[in-house]
């Protein structure tokens, strides 16, 4: 797989590359609000069939109608799934595969922070389950379809707030639980998964990259902020339209064909922390995640 050095989306954007994805199928998780919905709008405007995944039926249908109206593209679908549970992720994959036999773009956008320590039915802490395990599992459930549809692209929505390192033994149930620390750890895991998966996918014409969308005002960011700061947030944070642009570019820009295993901060490629590039740590995380995903029984919270 060709992986050019020093590629910058900012340069590509300024070059004004036209994008047309008519006939392609894109799946976006967390698509009912914020960056996810704007990503769906951006993809729909290029002519793709866009499948939006959301948890709430009412908000999802409202978002789908808005995407169709703003993009002028009627080929927008809605699937419902709870991405905090293994069953919900598997249900989403099954729903998608019952409708489509091709997938050209997968954008793992769903994410969030749970202030209180909570677990899903498998015993996995929810911030980790939603931000890391759900995209890991969904990607693998759809990987054969992506390969069959190649060239195909996977985009992982990450964050600059990633931790410096992680302890695999503490991932699924950190003690003590600190919400933002759990979020940062999960986002580091996403980046490490991206690098490891890129190595696995070499030679397949399926690429995978991670992106930090910027500091974006979304319903999730508003909920997490102290109430006295919320009126000021829109003054200092970008809107979801701007936050969606990097994901859309990574998904469909022809100038990024073959680029894989990279991390982008908004519109430019950046390096992440040293720990994230440790192949041994990547492989440990990858192997453990495969065990969670495809071994029988509930998640073992500690090694």
- The length of the chain in residues reads 303
- Mention every residue, 6+ apart, whose C-beta is less than 8 A from residue 285: 166, 168, 189, 192, 193, 196
CB 282, CB 192: distance < 8 Å? yes
Residue 177 a catalytic site member: no
* The one catalytic residue among 132, 183, 195, 263: 183
Concatenated DSSP letters of 139-205: HHHTHHHHHHT-SEEEEEE--TT--S---GGGSSS-SS--HHHHHHHHHHHHHHHHHHHHHHTTTTT
Hey, is 303 helix, strand or coil?
coil
- Mention every residue, 6+ apart, whose C-beta is less than 8 A from residue 128: 171, 172, 174, 182, 185, 186, 189
For 22, list phi and psi in degrees, rounded to 5.
Answer: -55, 130
Hey, is 130 helix, strand or coil?
helix
Q: What angle do CA 124, 157, 226 make, to 5 degrees?
A: 75
What are the structure tokens assigned to 38, written together? 């704007």
Among all residues, which ones are annotated catalytic? 183
């Amino acid at each position: 797989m060709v992986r050019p050095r020093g590629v910058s989306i900012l340069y590509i954007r300024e070059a004004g590359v036209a994008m047309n994805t008519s006939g392609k199928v894109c799946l976006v998780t967390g698509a009912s609000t914020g960056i996810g919905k704007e990503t769906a709008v951006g993809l729909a405007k290029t002519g793709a069939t866009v499948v939006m995944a959301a948890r709430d039926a009412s908000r999802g249908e409202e978002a789908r109608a808005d995407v169709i109206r703003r993009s002028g593209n009627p080929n927008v679908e809605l699937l419902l799934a709870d991405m905090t549970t293994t069953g919900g992720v598997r249900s989403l994959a099954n729903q998608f595969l019952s409708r489509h036999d091709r997938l050209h773009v997968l954008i793992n956008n769903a994410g969030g922070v749970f202030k209180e320590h909570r677990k899903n039915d498998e015993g996995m802490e929810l911030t980790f389950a939603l931000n890391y395990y759900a995209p890991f599992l969904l990607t693998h459930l759809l990987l054969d379809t992506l390969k069959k549809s190649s060239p195909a692209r996977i985009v992982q929505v990450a964050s600059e707030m990633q931790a410096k390192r992680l302890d695999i033994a503490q991932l699924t149930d950190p003690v003590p639980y600190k919400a933002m620390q759990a979020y940062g750890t999960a986002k580091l895991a996403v980046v490490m998964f991206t690098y490891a998966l890129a190595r696995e996918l070499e030679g397949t014409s399926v690429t995978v990259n991670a992106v930090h969308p910027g500091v974006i005002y979304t319903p999730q960011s508003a909920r997490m902020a102290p109430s006295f700061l919320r009126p000021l947030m829109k003054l200092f944070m970008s809107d979801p339209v701007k936050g969606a642009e990097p994901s859309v570019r990574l998904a469909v820009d022809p100038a990024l064909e073959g680029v894989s295993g990279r991390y982008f901060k908004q519109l430019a490629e950046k390096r992440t922390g040293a720990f994230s590039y440790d192949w041994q740590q990547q492989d440990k995380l990858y192997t453990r995640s495969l065990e969670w995903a495809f071994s029988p029984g509930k998640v073992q919270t500690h090694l």
